[in-house]
Structure 1
Amino acid sequence: MSEQSNFVLNLSVLYRNTQKYFDKVLVPYDIGYGQLMFLLCINENEGITMQELTRIGEVDKGTTTKSIQRLIDQGYINTRQDENDKRVKRLYTTEKAAGIMGVVYDLRNALRTTLAKNMDFKTFESMLEQAADNARSLEIPEEDSLKRLRIGGLQKMTLLDYPGKVACTIFMAGCNYKCPFCHNRDLVFIPERFDFFEPDDVLAYLGKRKGLLDGVCISGGEPLMQKDLIPLLQKIKDMGYLIKLDTNGGFPQRLKTVVESGLIDYVAMDIKNSPSKYAETLGMNPDAFNFDAVRESISYLLEGHIDYEFRTTVVREMHTMEDMREIAKWISGAKKYYLQQFTDSGNLIQEGWSAYSEEEMYALRDAVREYIPQAEVRGVKEG
């Protein structure tokens, strides 16, 4: 049998046996392979909309609607109106779902272990993710890929976002985390009728500002969720701009890809909290959170492949002095580390968060300097 026929056969075997496995083991819970992805995604992103599910799952709206209705009928999912926009319905898991999620994750992990048998597990996971990314390029030719970008905002000039540079900031819509004190709620829980920016309009603006701006900050949301980010970076770089990337570290393979592409010049990675409080700070289920991804991104940046900084937005109700010491010890050896004072933007995911005072921020800075002597504060208001 030829190599080509083996390749197609292997794809078929992988798909059919994975589907058969889940359809069989999930029989006691009256759900099937078709609903599994949606149930896991909602469990890990409570409050997600059907629109967001369709985008993340890369399926058509009809598939999403059918699967969600089945999960609702079985009592695993319910819907609630968004508090700020009654037109938007958000999806949440029920107590019934909570009762089976441990088993579901065990079944998923058992399959992962079987598929990775006789292979290094991390290498297998990395290759699988890369193969999936490669497969996405089959759908739309690269010249059309900019049309898939979701740009949620444009700050036309900033002296703060790119250290030492006059820059503008492009805010990419969508985030894999939901930190309750996040000041960009709409970029995380994208409203149904969100007014996105056209990539061509953003590029046209940058074309007019050549010679006036030094650089462009790509922020979010989480920019590395955008699978077609590199073509945008290439076009910006071709104009002669320096590029800074903001990231939460949740996509280490994509981080490595953009760094190694040579298209970015600086990375700012958010360190959300000490390891023991990380999932809580992200608003994530600790049992479902992939902490290895964050660790891998930190390790990669510490290796010095690109100029970078780490930073933590410090929230009184979330961070203690001991947390800050743990973070500093964890990233000891970092070139730059900034403690950023929390600011209530009025568009938080949840209300009820507050900032440390100026004096307290400097005390926290002094505490972390035991491990990172060059640590500094940023955005601190007097008083």
Structure 2
Amino acid sequence: MVCRDPGLSAGTEAHMSELDVRGWQRTSLIDFPGHISTVLFTVGCNFRCPMCHNADLVLRPSALPRIDLDAVWDLLERRRGKITGVVLTGGEPTLQPTLPAFLEEIHRRGFRTKLDTNGYRPEVLRELIRRRLVDYVAMDVKGPPTLYARLAGLSDLDLARIETSLALLRDADVPYELRTTVVPGMLDRAAIEALVRWLAGLGLGEGTSYVLQQFRTVRTLDPALQQVTPYGASVLQAMAEEARRWLPAVGVRGL
């Protein structure tokens, strides 16, 4: 028998359980700046990025066991004071209808929230920011406008949706980072330069943390990319140095 949280009604408990989580990293020291966190992976995505290394969450979610959220709440209570944050990633969490209620419940229990998103549902991001349900946002920026659809794995893409999400982050008082996975053969130095110049042109300069992420060849959505050799550290560092001409705070991750 499951013991009901006295702070939740039966209806709210049922509502919480609807969040479809199919992956769980119980403890992370690196995913949420300033916090030890637990990381929840939601299913489904509106992109088909060829470099995605969570392909099962996107293409075969039914093959993954559903995470019992009671176990998540139990871990958070047992590790209260050590774990201080919860990361929602995916997949694409903004596709989950119960995401706002779930984030609200995390806050009610005294934990901070971080959202990883591709930014393609600005209407959801706007609501989460308005209701102060997110304490940190990490948004993937796939590439410059001319390459965005290809990097997102779509035949057609509404770039205005991406730019709206970028403007929301720019104008909000929520800490955020933008990040790009640098895939050889898809993004080179010229593409990264075009990308950061585009971001700077949108007013994302001072105060914007931008990260170039090393490409990982493990379990990519496009199997052909598993044979690609990632850029060396010196190449990524050189890209970051050039990017700082337009965005002051540029880092490299995953080396």
What is the TM-score with the length of structure 1 in the denominator? Answer: 0.60
Correspondence for 1:236: 106
1:192 to partner: Cα distance: 3.6
Secondary structure of 1:327's partner?
helix
1:147 to partner: Cα distance: 2.8
Correspondence for 1:370: 245
5+ residue gaps in structure 1? 1-140
Secondary structure of 1:160's partner?
strand
Note the alpha carbon deviations across 1:42-81, whole angstroms, 9 max, x for none.
xxxxxxxxxxxxxxxxxxxxxxxxxxxxxxxxxxxxxxxx
Counterpart of 1:268 in structure 2: which amino acid?
A: A
1:210/1:239 contact within 8 Å kept? no
Counterpart of 1:337 in structure 2: which amino acid?
A: Y
Q: 1:339/1:201 Cα in 2 relative to 1: closer, same or farther (>3 Å)? A: same
Secondary structure of 1:352's partner?
helix
Whole-angstrom CA distance in 2 between matches of 1:192 and 1:309: 31
Correspondence for 2:175: 307
1:343 to partner: Cα distance: 1.2
The match for 2:222 among 317, 333, 350 is: 350
1:374 to partner: Cα distance: 1.7
1:330 to partner: Cα distance: 1.6
Q: 1:193/1:374 Cα in 2 relative to 1: closer, same or farther (>3 Å)? A: closer
State the identity as a percent: 34
Identify which of structures 1 and 2 has the higher relative contact order when contacts are C-alpha pairs closer than 8 Å and 6+ apart: 2
1:188 to partner: Cα distance: 0.6
1:269/1:309 contact within 8 Å kept? yes
Secondary structure of 1:269's partner?
strand
Note the alpha carbon deviations across 1:144-181, whole angstroms, 9 max, x for none.
32232110111011111112321111111111101011
Whole-angstrom CA distance in 2 between matches of 1:363 and 1:351: 28
Map 1:204-353 to 2 at 5 A.
204-286=74-156, 289-332=157-200, 333=205, 335-345=208-218, 347-353=219-225
Whole-angstrom CA distance in 1 between matches of 2:110 and 2:61: 34
Whole-angstrom CA distance in 2 between matches of 1:250 and 1:208: 35
2:76 pairs with 1:201: no
Structure number with higher strand proportion: 2
Map 1:141-180 to 2 at 5 A.
143-180=13-50
Whole-angstrom CA distance in 2 between matches of 1:191 and 1:215: 25
Secondary structure of 1:166's partner?
strand
Which shifted more, 239-248 or 326-335?
326-335
1:191 to partner: Cα distance: 4.3
Whole-angstrom CA distance in 2 between matches of 1:161 and 1:169: 8
Displacement over 3 Å in runs of 4+: none
2:43/2:61 contact within 8 Å kept? no
Note the alpha carbon deviations across 1:8-51, whole angstroms, 9 max, x for none.
xxxxxxxxxxxxxxxxxxxxxxxxxxxxxxxxxxxxxxxxxxxx
Bigger Rg, which one: 1
What is the TM-score with the length of structure 2 in the denominator? Answer: 0.88
